[in-house]
């Protein structure tokens, strides 16, 4: 629960948009990270997009939008890039984001229904910066204490497809603070199945 206190030899903070909230609860309190949260919204439309996925540019600003088949009889459209501030639990598609995606679909697929079955938003964690969120790097950020044997590692950003390489980098950073152990599994050879 929120009132619980835990002690550990090490801590990996991989809380996504909540990383700074987690850091604020660590004792002794480490500094927060200079991050921006960028909201990406998606629509699920009530028709089947046959022929595979499509990449189309928005007529509004030329930004790329993906339109993908979704569960056989629907189409997934996304994404937007809107700077977000506030509680990550409150991320919701904004009316302008929905209109942006609808305009893009109408431009590439005229006459198709644009009223979504549903819409959702997620948050990306990017290094704080200036200019367009679209132009910022998407590398995984790994922050540690300035010691040879850090006990706290914060991981954010990156791509889902790099999860294994990211985990190896985190373990390499934590290695000096952990007892020596033999690996129990070699994840390079394990198949992931759904």
Closest CA to 90 of 147, 14, 18: 18
Residues of the chain with pLDDT under 70: 1-3, 130-138, 194
What local confidence, expressed as pLDDT, does residue 7 receive? 84
What local confidence, expressed as pLDDT, does residue 128 receive? 85
Closest CA to 104 of 91, 116, 90, 92: 116
What local confidence, expressed as pLDDT, does residue 137 receive? 65
Residue 112 in tokens: 């198709």
Helix (H) or strand (E) holding 107, with range, is helix 95-108
Q: What is the pLDDT of residues 26-81, one digit of tens each?
A: 988 888 899 999 999 999 999 998 889 999 999 999 999 999 999 989 999 999 99
Phi-psi region of 86 (alpha: psi -120 to 50; beta: other; left: phi over 0): left
What local confidence, expressed as pLDDT, does residue 130 receive? 63
CA 135/CA 155 separation, integer angstroms: 21
What local confidence, expressed as pLDDT, does residue 53 receive? 94
What local confidence, expressed as pLDDT, does residue 150 receive? 83
Q: How much is the pTM?
A: 0.82
Residue 142's DSSP bridge partners are 155
Q: Is the peptide bond before 17 cis (omega within 30 degrees of 0)?
A: no
Q: Burial of 93 by CB count in 10 Å (0-12 exposed, 13-18 middle, 19+ buried)?
A: buried
């Amino acid at each position: 629960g929120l009132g619980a206190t835990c002690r550990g030899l090490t801590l990996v903070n991989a809380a996504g948009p909540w990383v700074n909230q987690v850091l604020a609860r660590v004792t002794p309190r480490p500094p927060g990270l200079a991050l921006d949260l960028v909201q990406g919204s998606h629509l699920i439309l009530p028709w089947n997009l046959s022929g595979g996925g499509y990449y189309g540019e928005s007529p509004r600003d030329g930004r790329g939008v993906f339109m993908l088949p979704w569960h056989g009889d629907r189409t997934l459209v996304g994404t937007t890039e809107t700077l977000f501030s506030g509680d990550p639990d409150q991320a919701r598609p904004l009316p302008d984001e929905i209109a942006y995606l609808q305009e893009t679909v109408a431009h590439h697929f005229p006459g198709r229904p644009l009223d979504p079955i549903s819409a959702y938003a997620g948050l990306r964690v990017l290094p704080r910066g200036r200019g367009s969120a679209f132009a910022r790097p998407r590398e995984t950020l790994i922050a540690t204490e300035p010691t040879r044997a850090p006990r706290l590692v914060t991981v954010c950003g990156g791509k889902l497809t790099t999860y294994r390489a990211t985990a190896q980098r985190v373990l390499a950073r934590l290695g000096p603070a952990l007892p020596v152990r033999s690996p129990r599994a070699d994840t390079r050879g394990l198949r992931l199945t759904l």
